[in-house]
Structure 1
Amino acid sequence: MEQLNSTVVTTISSSSPGHPPPFSQDFGTLFPVVVLSLSSILGIPGNIAVIILRPNWQQMSSLSQSLMLNLAVADLLNLITLPLWIPTLLHGWKFGFLACKLISYLVYCSVHCCLLTVIALSLQRYLQVVHGKKWFQHRGQKRLLALLWLVAMILSIPVLVDRQPSPVRNLTQCESVYSSLAQQVALLLEETVLGIVSVSVVVFAYISLKRKVDRAALFNNPQTTCLITSIIVTFFVLWVPYLILNLLSLTAIFSKNKRLLKFCMDNKNIFRAPVFLNSSLDPLLYAFASRNFCTGCLKQEQKTSCSTSQEI
């Protein structure tokens, strides 16, 4: 996300005239193009299907349904911008100054909202299944969703300030142009902290859910184990490389290591492109594959936390 979509758009290198670009430069362009194309092809129809069909949601709490619907909408808003970014990787930004700011802002808002919604969904499931607590009535749910979008919009405001078309070697790209080093560091820190918090909450919440299910159920459910493992591993694998890149960039800035900073700038597309796969896989992990936890709780434990519809 420090340029999460132009981020996907930033490092397109060109070789000197008359010489083919080195393999690393080709790979730095083609790999993101392939990943973003795959994300678009799989994710756009997948999230539309979730919004229309709402699969396997009959036994879920209304808050779970609202959060998953919100996640699908945020993912879809993120993915529908990819048909603009993919040709930009190859041919540069062609859509003007205002579009650069507004489309980048939309991407940031949707990605921030995705992360915040995943945090809320993970905590809600953890509290309901592990501790038997419910969140919010109907009116409170609407306020929660409005709060998630409001926070996402506020966190994305810097994009409206620093994003603009700018030359990158022989192409014009929709880039962040920072007025100071402090501005760049602040944006990197914001994105890194939010990403680390998101990954930590997801890992903690779903590991706790898995332990609760194993203790409460009369038998271990391999489908539940597979689903929880998939959620943790997918979120971790797709986000951690991006977070590591941000940490390396911060290290390079503070240590004034030009070689490390150049490595981060030259390879950021490769590290960040997989983040978009998360939006295309969310329908499978959070919607289509959602199932009840604690099916054996009713027989093994006569507790409120297991007799209410505890679900994932």
Structure 2
Amino acid sequence: MMTVDGSSNTSSSLFFNNCSYSGPPLTSCLWPWYIVASVIVAVSFLLGMPANFTVIVKLSRHLHGSSISQRLFFSLAVSDVLCLLCLPVGVAIFINGPSLSHGVCQLFFYFFFFCITSDVNILVLISIQRYYQVLHPKKWEKLGRIWQRLLLFSVWMLGALVALPAVFLLTEVKNEDDWTDSRSCRNQRITPLLEAVYISFIVFCHLVLFYFYQLLVRGVHRTKMADKKKPRVTKLFIRIIAASLVVGFFPLVLRVVYVVALFTESAELLHVSQMLTFVECFYFFNHCLNPFLYFFASRHQPGGGKSLLMPLNDNS
């Protein structure tokens, strides 16, 4: 999912490259798989954009003086929109292969990695915030509003820093079978080692995300609740989290095949990885699922019972 290799595979489950062929691009043996991948990308974009824009519009009306919960979900929706906006731009760049300067390619890669890492950072912070606010509200309140918002600013800064290596370690790869201009971004990639580092970072974030939601669910189940509707809401919420983790984690695991292929220089593994591009593209479905977290988290529990989901208009 993370990088671009202009000589072989796709990067970030988005950027298409052709396998070895003789003739025009449409005769590529991998072209049908890339068609499937492009359909998945298009569906993710068409479903995710209106859902996230709805969240942004609803929260932007009362963003001034709002709680950290509202700001977290607003930031998540913004990062989702930015990630989804990269999809059509990336397809246009890497399918048509326009001639772009190295600096422009660097800027695009940096922006894409910044969006991806910031998005997962915000999800992790939301999971931590939900855990402490629901089960340990006094500890969360001690943090104070200023420090809470400083944490939110920090996750954006972390995303900006994590994306920097992709800029400085972006190199041009010459592919004799490539049908694009030598200055195309399709001919740019980062080292396999850096790709492995990015995959490890995202996998680690998903594990932290899973850990805190698991603690949250267990803590809520141990708490006596008067609201009869709580179990249904909790089950729906857990299913969304589970689906999000699977959709995000499984493509990352498959992306390891590509990294192994680069390290071992195995043509067979590389070909398998290319065919699995459409599976990697499912990662972007996460940006369609994230808005559901907001809609469930914004629901109020009648009867005043504590629930897995605290209302977003809290005072903290």
Give the corresponding residue for 1:16. 22
Amino acid at match of 2:91: I
1:9-158 aligned within 5 A: 9-13=15-19, 15-17=21-23, 21=27, 25-54=30-59, 62-132=67-137, 133-134=139-140, 136-158=143-165
| Stretches of structure 1 lacking an aligned partner (at least 5 in a row) | 299-305
Note the 1:193-232 alignment, pairs <5 A: 193-215=200-222, 216-218=224-226, 219=228, 220-232=230-242
Query: Does the C-alpha gap of structure 1 residues 34 and 249 become closer, same or farther in structure 2, counting only changes over 3 Å?
Result: closer
Distance 2:109 2:240 in 1: 30
- Aligned residue among 281, 284, 288 for 1:280: 288
Q: Which moved more, 1:109-118 or 1:218-227?
A: 218-227
- Which segment drifts farther, 265-274 or 61-70? 265-274
Distance 2:301 2:164 in 1: 42
SS of 1:273 mapped into structure 2: helix
Equivalent residue number for residue 247 of structure 1: 256
Change beyond 3 A, Cα 1:214–1:103: same
In structure 2, the CA distance between the partners of 1:105 and 1:65, relative to structure 1 (3 Å rule), is: same
Aligned residue identity for 1:63: I
CA distance, structure 1, for counterparts of residue 94 and residue 278 of structure 2: 12
What SS does the aligned partner of 1:217 have?
A: coil
Deviation at 1:189, TM superposition (A): 3.1
* One-letter amino acid of the counterpart of residue 227, structure 1: F
Matches within 5 A, 1:259-270: 259=267, 261-263=269-271, 265-267=273-275, 269-270=277-278
Q: Distance in 1 between matches of 2:248 and 2:287?
A: 11
Match of 1:290 in 2: 297
Inter-CA distance 95–6: structure 2 relative to 1 (3 Å threshold): farther
Partner of 1:237: 246
Which stretch shows the higher mean deviation, 31-40 or 259-268? Answer: 259-268
SS at match of 2:186: strand
How far did 1:226 drift?
0.8
Letter matched to residue 210 of structure 1: V
Whether the 8 Å contact between 1:63 and 1:141 is mirrored in structure 2 is: yes
8 A contact 1:93–1:174 mirrored in 2? no
Residues 89 and 229 of structure 1: is their aligned pair in 2 closer, same or farther, counting only changes over 3 Å?
A: same
Aligned-pair distance for 1:210?
A: 2.6
Q: TM-score, normalised by structure 1?
A: 0.79
Instruction: List gaps (5 residues or longer) in structure 2.
Output: 5-9
Which has the higher mean CA deviation after the structures are superposed, 196-205 or 151-160?
A: 196-205
**1:212 partner letter:** G
Distance 1:252 1:166 in 2: 16
Change (3 A) 1:19 1:134: closer
CA 192–83 in structure 1, closer or farther in 2 if over 3 Å, else same: closer
SS of match in other structure, 1:221:
helix
> In the alignment, which of 186, 207, 212 is matched to residue 174 of structure 1?
186
TM-score between both structures, scaled by the size of structure 2: 0.78
RMSD, aligned α-carbons? 3.3
Q: Tell me the distance in 2 between the aligned counterparts of 1:140 and 1:147.
A: 10
Which sits farther off after the overlay, 24-33 or 65-74?
24-33
Whether the aligned pair in 2 keeps the contact of 1:110 and 1:152 (CA below 8 Å) is: yes
Instruction: For residues 273-309 of structure 1, give each alpha carbon's deviation from its aligned partner in whole angstroms, at most 9, with x where no partner exists.
Output: 11222123211x22223245876774xxxxxxx49x9
| 3-state secondary structure, aligned to 2:140 | coil
2:3 match: 3
Aligned-partner Cα distance in 2 for 1:232–1:19: 38
